Amino acid sequence: MKIRNNIAISDSGFVFDSNNGESFTLNKIGLEILQMLKNSRTEEEITQKIVKKYDVDIETFEQNYFDFVGMLRHFNLFENESF
Amino acid sequence: MKKLKYERPIINKIQSGMPDKFGMSTRVQTISDVEGIPVVNIIKNYGSPTFVLSEQTIRDTYQEAREAFTTRYPKVQFAWSYKTNYLNAVCKIFHSEGSWAEVVSGFEYDKAIDNGVKGAHIIFNGPDKSDEYLAKSIENDSFIHIDHFDEFYSLIRIAAKSSKKAKVAIRVNMDTGIYPQWDRFGFNYENGDAWNVLNKIMLSKDLELVGLHTHIGTYILTPNAYGVAASKLAELAVRVYRKFNYVISYIDMGGGFASKNTLKGAYLPGKDTCPTFDDYAESITNALINSEIQPENLPTLILETGRALIDDAGYLVGTVLANKRLVSSRRATIIDIGVNLLFTSFWYEHEVYPVKEVSEQTEDTTIYGPLCMNIDVIREVIKFPLLQKGDPVIIPRVGAYNMTQWMQFITLRPNIILIDTSKNIHVIREEETNEVFSRQEKLPEHLS
Ligand SMILES: Cc1ncc(COP(=O)(O)O)c(C=O)c1O
């Protein structure tokens, strides 16, 4: 699972897809996760980091993470994956 | 180290060229309490979901409506529309403010009597009045609003057997310029049916004509339609006076004032489009005062306002059950309030609010009820913040019709509580249990 190279992420939570000119906004946690994904962190690493930093249990976060990644996929931000 | 406050990660696509309606704020509003009572406490003590009613709001709204009319017209009488909300506690609040009762069935009639309303302060409307209840209404001096000719003839027959005259009005339907025109109740003005039945009543020795009634529709956004209706009823009163030298004692304008809820498909929120009581009062009272009725003969003005008097006083509090992502990528939130309790969600875009402070981020969300039925949709799409399973929610303006039209379907009906004017909480209708429900059933012997 790798974020495409032509996805630009600004520090303020603004994402630009130079392929098609579409742009997105993220909340703070969304931005952190996207940046970690961009740096090729695994789901496990990301979960550990978030759960340590924020007041959330692993189960809730995993559900939310799954949903978030689903949206990134829906918006076509990952490199082509083979299922 | 103290952990930071968490919220779900989200990403939203920026839609260019698609501004929000009139730049309305998408800031997330929360409602954390009703009359100072925290919603979380209500849920803890009375369960989720729970209906909540504010006595203060009922009284304030009633007084505002009454003042709008009494400052413009000498004789005004409200009659509480039982079907809008016939919880005894609610009816009694209206009666204690001076409201009579407006009923449309034997069940409602008996309820009014049980609530201590004098027979002579009950208005009996609707197409379904049994012989038994017509007789009862005559004995009790209640006002019978005749709906159709069959009822007129029944009444002639029943009144003939009574020592008392039946006090009657007719319900009149008419063109007031609004669409759709309700023509299924009462006698039509334009085609002469109304005038025809008035003549018959005047010639009957057992009926006493006391009033003229109309109810032009519900959620009427144009006060002017009431002016048109009041003029037409006044015209009938004038004709009766000219022909029979007889003065009609009241004109009843029915209900139908809009509430601040937003109708489905409306472009602007109901809060911004709903006329005030003053607007309606101005239109109705001007029509009566400017009619050809002589000042000394001005009839009492009766109003059967329903939803506009009670919608704002009711809340539903509930809980998020789950979140889902639909195939279309739309977020869906399932709450424990369904169309079984919120019947009015079939025609209103009900507002749904979080109870606790949440992040400013919102997403287009569909809000579903808990029923395993496709029709169970509370909001097709609403900008909604990030709530988690277990978070409380509140839906304001649910006081009208929901607590009477609700359905016992799939699940049982919850507690209804009233917060009184001293902020004391009373359960005014207990939650149903399996036992309550089973009590009505009977098993044939071979199946037991
Ligand atoms: C005869 C009559 N009066 C009054 C009402 C109350 O109407 P609303 O709730 O629109 O004010 C109704 C409602 O249908 C009605 O049928």
User: B91 with B227, same domain?
Assistant: yes
CB of B173 within 6 A of ligand 1: the answer is no
pLDDT tens digits, A20-57:
888 998 989 999 999 999 999 999 999 999 999 999 99
Among residues B293, B311, B329, the one where a domain terminates is: B311
Structural domain includes residue B1 = no
- Per-residue tens of pLDDT for chain B, all 448 residues: 789 989 889 888 887 654 444 444 456 899 999 999 999 999 999 999 999 999 999 999 999 999 999 999 999 999 999 999 999 999 999 999 999 999 999 999 999 999 999 999 999 999 999 999 999 999 999 999 999 999 999 999 999 999 999 999 999 999 999 888 888 899 999 999 999 999 999 999 999 999 999 999 999 999 999 999 999 999 999 999 999 999 999 999 999 999 999 999 888 999 999 999 999 999 999 999 999 999 999 999 999 999 999 999 999 999 999 999 888 888 999 999 999 999 999 999 999 999 998 876 788 899 999 999 999 999 999 999 888 899 999 999 999 999 999 999 999 999 999 999 999 999 999 999 999 989 999 999 999 8
Given B266, B286, B311, the domain boundary residue is B311
Q: Could you tell me if residue B18 is inside a domain? A: no
Claim to verify: residue B414 and residue B286 sit in the same structural domain: no
Cis amide leading into B180 (omega within 30): yes
Q: Are residues B122 and B227 in the same domain?
A: yes
**Is B254 inside a domain boundary?**
yes
H-run or E-run covering A61: helix A58-74
Quick one: B47 and B81 in the same domain?
no
Cα gap B319→B330, rounded to integer Å: 20
Encoded tokens for B394: 């509140």
What's the pLDDT at A82? 57
Query: Where does the pLDDT of residue A11 fall: very low under 50, low under 70, confident under 90, or very high at 90 and above?
Result: confident
Ligand 1 centroid to A66 CA: how many Å?
50
Number of structural domains chain B divides into = 2
Q: What is the per-residue pLDDT for B24? A: 42
B320 within 8 A of B389, measured Cβ to Cβ: yes
Residues B169, B211: Cα–Cα separation, whole Å: 4
Residues B44 and B61 in one domain: no
The CB density around residue B255, as the number of other CB atoms within 10 Å, is 24
Co-location of B243 and B365 in the same domain? no
CATH of the domain at B380: 2.40.37.10
Per-residue pLDDT, B26: 55
Q: How far is the CA of B185 from the centre of ligand 1 (A)?
A: 12
Q: Give me the residue label for tokens 């000219």.
A: B242
- C-beta atoms surrounding B244 within 10 Å: 14
**Ligand 1 pocket mutation, candidates B147, B218, B252, criterion most atoms within 8 A of CB:** B218
Sequence-ordered list of residues with C-beta below 8 angstroms from that of B291, at least 6 positions apart, any chain: B230, B231, B234, B235, B237, B238
Domain with B418 in it: 33-53+313-438
Task: Please state, in angstroms and rounded to a whole number, the distance separating the CA atoms of residues B290 and B331.
Answer: 56
Same domain, B213 and B321: no
Decide the pairing of beta strands B207-213 and B11-13: unpaired
Of B315, B337, B392, B401, nearest in space to B54 by CA: B315
Say if B155 falls within a structural domain: yes
Inside any domain, residue B304: yes
- The residue whose CA is least distant from atom 12 of ligand 1 is B255
B119 and B176 part of one domain: yes
Of B311, B333, B353, the residue at which a domain comes to its end is B311
Residue B109 three-state SS: helix
B71 and B213: one domain? yes
Instruction: Kindly list the residues from chain A whose CB atom is less than 8 angstroms away from the CB atom of residue B323.
Output: 67
Same domain, B346 and B301: no
Chain A: closest CA distance from residue B360 (Å): 9
**Co-location of B208 and B65 in the same domain:** yes
Q: Give the pLDDT of residue B56.
A: 98
Distances (CA, A) of B166 to A10, B155, B248, B298: 80, 8, 15, 22
What CATH number corresponds to the domain at position B217? 3.20.20.10
Look at ligand 1, atom 9, and give the residue with the nearest C-alpha: B306
Residue B7 lies in a domain: no
Q: Test A55 with B6 for CB contact under 8 angstroms.
A: yes
| pLDDT for residue B27 | 66
Same domain, B198 and B301: yes
User: What letter would DSSP give residue B413?
Assistant: -
Q: What whole-number distance in Å separates Cα of residue A35 and Cα of residue B311? A: 48
Instruction: Tell whether B445 is covered by a domain.
Output: no
Question: Which pLDDT score is estimated for B318?
Answer: 98
Percent of chain A with pLDDT over 90: 58
State how far the Cα of B139 lies from the Cα of B152, in Å rounded to an integer: 17
For position B181, what pLDDT does the model report?
Answer: 86
Give dist(CA B352, CA B359) in Å, integer: 16
Q: Name which of B133, B137, B72 is nearest B303 in CA terms.
A: B72
Q: Which of B84, B122, B274 to mutate to test the pocket of ligand 1 (most atoms within 8 A of CB)?
A: B84
Instruction: Kindly report the pTM of this predicted structure.
Output: 0.89
pLDDT of residue A83: 52
Phi-psi region of B24 (alpha: psi -120 to 50; beta: other; left: phi over 0): beta
